Structure formats: structure tokens, C-alpha cells
Structure 1
């Protein structure tokens, strides 16, 4: 800790306050000839009982900023998928997945709900940044080895299964967001009904 930081610290402030009490005792004659020891002792006691310094909380991006970054990553993912050589069935699955991701990432009501749902935001980020690119990359690499050693299980089956699982997870997220809005609507209806009965 630097000198300037120590001078502004709680320990120094508490110690100085107690040291001032020692000076008051000195001027009133209570401390006697041992006043330096009394002042130093009180300063030390004040510094010891002061609460410890608390480090500042780290600043993390707020959910709306995280969604903005995620939209940028989704654009990168879309460019990557456009260049990948994939079978027609996987392309169809990716088109449906792309539509679902676009709807969830679209600025608007979904983004507002996701900003209040860290777990949902995590599911969405994992799909964009990990699950989909890893599924496609693993397929591309496995297909190359399968061509060298024919007779193995087709890697297309795994890719289609993986993309279907990601899509199912995102559908559950979309359903949960829809149910949140439905509960909000029902709550507002009950509020209006209760208000009408109170008249």
C-alpha cells in the first residue's frame, strides 16, 4: 500500500482520531509525562480496531452490453457456417436454428427478458460461442477421417443429433421467456380486476 493510499485509509483515519483523543488527554494533564506513549498507543489501537479496507467490486458488463457482444459473435458464427461444407439435412437444421437464435437475439422484448435472466443468457451464449461451432467443427474434422477409414458410423448423424439438442434447449428457453410474459400479463389482469373491485 502506497503512502498516499495509507493516509486515506480507514486505519489511518481511525488511528488519527484516537491519537487526537490522546492529545486532548495530554493537554488536560491526564497523560502526564508519558503523553508520547499514550498518543502512540491510542493511534495504534485505533488503527487496529478500524475495519479492513474493502477492495472495489469488479465492474462487469451489464446484460444489455453482453447481449450486444453476443449479437456480434452470432454474426461471426453465421459467417463461419456459411463457409462450412455441410450436408443438406444439417443445413436445414442450421437454418431453423439460425431463425430461433435471431429471434432470441433481436433487440426488443426478448432482449429485455434475457437481460433479467442470467441463466437464459448463459444458455444462449453457450449455444452461439460453443455448442454450434464445436458441433460443426467436429463434424468437418471427423468427416475427413471417415473418408480415410470408410465403414464407420456417418458423422452426419452426430451433427444432426447435436444441432437438434441445441435447438431443443433454445426452444425451452423461448418457452420459458414466453411463460414469463404470460405470467406478467396475467398479473396485470388480476391487478386491474382487484382495482375494479375496490371502487
Structure 2
């Protein structure tokens, strides 16, 4: 293992920009030696040119991190959404909250369904972030807080029912997700209008 790492580092040094540039300059020194320009000091000339080349070579640029592309991220959110739907089915929400959660699920299903909406989301990092946050954080936290709070409400009656908070939270999330859907729809509408203007201008 240590030998392979050492060999990898040695190969990396050989392939580095500094070594390549220094070697090219060193070859110039050898040419000067063979033509008699360097004279008896040719080793100093060759080494000096190699060192100068290594110094002027541009620094190595580290490789970019290999992050998943937007399509892969969308696939991950789609898988997480399926897990979220299973969780919501097990919680046992009160009727009004269940109805609002169902409406929210419908919009999320439409946005995550492979098709044009998914293509637009793959090109919209902010929209993808909003969707992923709703699926992975906002909805699970809202439902989990309700599930934990309703147990305490049985011990301390007279408090504000936890389902009111849940219903309000689901309504706000539904509005946020629908705004995202409206934004994607408007983007498609602008694209269609632009194409119409392009055809109109071309026909003149």
C-alpha cells in the first residue's frame, strides 16, 4: 500500500507542470551544450534552466470536486419523497391536516414526476433547493413536532391544539411549493412567447 502511494506521488511529480516546464528548459540547455554555446559550464546551464523553468511554470490546479449533477440530485429527492409518503401514511394525521398534506403531496408529485417540470428543476438550483428542503426537512419536522406535541397535550389539556400549528405549517409549505410551480410555469410561458416573437420576426 505504501509502495503504491509512493509510486503515485512519484508519477504525479513527473507529470507536474513544474517538471514538464523545467525539463523543456533543460532540453534547451542541452541544445546549447551540443552547439558549444554553454561551454564547460554546461551542467550549471542545464540545471539552471531546469530550475528557472520549474519556477515560472504555472501552479498545479486541484481538480474540481465531483458533485452529483442536478439530475442525480433530483433523483435523490424523488427517492426521499417516496420515503416521506410512507412516513406520512403511518403517522395518522387529523382530517384537516391530512387533507392539506394530500394537496401538498399532489403538487410535489407533479413537480418530481419525470417530465418537463423535472427538466426545468434540474436547471434551477434554487428551485431544487426549495423542493429538497420541503421534502427532507420542513414537512418531516412539522409532522414530527405535531406527533410529539399531541402526546403532551393529553397531559396538559386546555392548550392550543397542536393540529392547528400543523395545519398552518402545511398551508405555508403548500403555498411555497405552488409558488415554485408558478415560477416554472411562467418560465415555460416566457419560452413560448419568445419563440412566437422569433417566428414573427423571421416572417417579416
Q: TM-score range by the shorter chain?
A: over 0.9
- Give 2:151's match in structure 1, choosing from 136, 144, 147: 144
In the alignment, structure 2 segments of 5+ residues that lack a partner are 1-7
CA distance in 1, matches of 2:98, 2:160: 20
Q: Secondary structure at the match of 1:56?
A: coil
How many pairs are equivalent?
Answer: 197
- Tell whether 2:76 aligns with 1:73: no
- Give 1:93's match in structure 2, choosing from 74, 82, 100: 100
**CA deviation string 1:14-64 (max 9, x = no partner):** 000111111122222222222212111111111111111111212222222
- Tell whether 2:142 aligns with 1:129: no
Give the 4+ runs in structure 1 shifted more than 6 A.
Answer: none
TM-score if structure 2 supplies the norm length? 0.92
Q: Superposition pairs for residues 1-199 of structure 1, below 5 Å? A: 2-197=9-204
CA distance in 2, matches of 1:34, 1:154: 92
RMSD: 1.3
Larger deviation, residues 143-152 vs 73-82: 143-152
In the alignment, structure 1 segments of 5+ residues that lack a partner are none
CA distance in 2, matches of 1:152, 1:97: 27
TM-score if structure 1 supplies the norm length? 0.94
Larger deviation, residues 173-182 vs 59-68: 59-68
CA distance in 2, matches of 1:145, 1:41: 79
CA distance in 2, matches of 1:186, 1:155: 47
**CA deviation string 1:99-118 (max 9, x = no partner):** 11011111111111111111
CA distance in 2, matches of 1:158, 1:85: 16
